[in-house]
Structure 1
Amino acid sequence: LRNYELGARSRWDQGRLQLDATLFYIDWRDIQLRLQTPDFFNYATNGGKAHSAGIELAVKWRPTQSLDWQTSITWQRARLDDDLVVLFFGTAPKGSPLPGSADWTVSNLLTYRFDGSRAPTLAVSHQFLSGGLSDLNSAVPGATPNRQGNYNQFDARFRMSFGSIDMTVFGTNLTDKRGVTRTVSESNGVGEGILRPRTVGVTLNWHH
Structure 2
Amino acid sequence: MKTPIKEAVLFFEARGSGLRYQQKIELKNIDENVLVVTLEQIPQDDLIESSERGIFFTIDEIQFIDCQLTMTDGHKIPHFNSLTSHLTYNWLFNDKWQRRWGMLWNCNSIEYAKLEMSGYLRRRLGDYQHFFFTSDHNEGVSLVGMMRKLLCKIIIHPSVLTIFFWLAIHSGSYSLGDGKLVRRRKWF
State if a TM-score over 0.5 links the two structures.
no
Max radius of gyration: which structure?
2
In terms of fraction of residues, the more helix-rich structure is 2
More RCO (CA 8 Å, sep 6+): 2
TM-score, normalised via structure 2 length: 0.30
More strand by share: 1
What is the TM-score when the length of structure 1 is the normalising length? 0.28
